[in-house]
Amino acid sequence: MNNNNNSQQSEIVQEDTLNYDSKTKQLNQEEIEQIQKILKQKPTLSKNLLNDEEKQKKWLKSQNSQYSQQIQELDGNSNIVESDLNTSYQTRISKISDRNQKIKVQNKKKKKKEQQQMGFLERFKFAFFGCNTRQY
């Protein structure tokens, strides 16, 4: 009975290792294919260019100009993004200042209303009690 269990476990382990090995082989093959694709995409110097210095210099200059164009495009894009951020911040700041101004106006109106109501109460007390009820 015990031997049966051990043999079953060893078979399972062997199957697992076979499955693992086949998966790693597949992964390795996929990695190799990806690396080959990357290598094909990268520009390489042909044998003719290596032999001819002038052609090599021209090739290097063309590569340089491509990179400089890409850098200029990226710089231009960053300036656009920067200006967009500045305008968005300016609009946010203006909205906040407008809101603060409205709050100030509302507070002034509230104070004025409170003062008017206090004045009414003082007049009412004077008329009702016949004297000034303010305490000095």
User: What amino acid occupies position 19?
Assistant: N
**Poorest-confidence range of 13-27, 48-62, 63-77?**
13-27
Banded pLDDT at 108 (limits 50, 70, 90): very high
Q: 71 in a domain, yes or no?
A: no
Q: 21 in a domain, yes or no?
A: no
Residue 42 DSSP code = S
Q: 43: helix, coil or strand?
A: coil
Domain count, the chain: 1
Looking at residue 107, its pLDDT comes to 94
Residue numbers of the domain that contains 118: 110-136
Using an 8 Å Cβ cutoff, are 72 and 82 in contact? no
Q: 45 in a domain, yes or no?
A: no
Q: 118 in a domain, yes or no?
A: yes
Question: pLDDT > 70: what percent of the chain?
Answer: 57
Q: 132: helix, coil or strand?
A: coil
Looking at residue 84, its pLDDT comes to 73
Looking at residue 101, its pLDDT comes to 94
Q: 125 in a domain, yes or no?
A: yes
The 10s digit of each residue's pLDDT in 5-22 is 566 666 666 666 666 666
Gap between the Cα atoms of 130 and 123, Å rounded: 10
